[in-house]
Amino acid sequence: MSDEQTSWIGEAMASPHTPGPWTAYQAPGGMICVAPQNRIAVADCCDMGDALLIAAAPDLLAALQAVVIELGAVHRSDRFSSADDALAAANAAIAKAFGHTD
């Protein structure tokens, strides 16, 4: 795993998105919203399933970051490259969450 692939690690403490946890709820008038507690909505949705997925985004990002860090440490000590594709995909998803594009 190169430094370029994990450039997001230093950004984890200064995340560009509204910090979680986020909650999905049905607002007055029927709109489904996603928001941190006592904050303005970060998303409006038409479907509760989509709202729940969006609400899970901060937790999913944190979990994926932890997996990449742990797998990266294990992988660096391993002589096999079976984790390369999984790590690359995970790093790409994390980078996308931080607004980085290729």
**pLDDT of amino acid 13:** 47
3-state SS class at 40: coil
**pLDDT of amino acid 1:** 46
**pLDDT of amino acid 80:** 47
Where are the domains positioned within the chain?
7-97
**pLDDT of amino acid 9:** 53
Residues 43/33, Cβ–Cβ less than 8 Å: yes
Residue ranges of the chain whose pLDDT lies below 70: 1-16, 73-83, 99, 101-102
Q: Torsion over CA of 21, 24, 28 and 29, rounded to 10 degrees? A: 140
Stated pTM of the model: 0.63
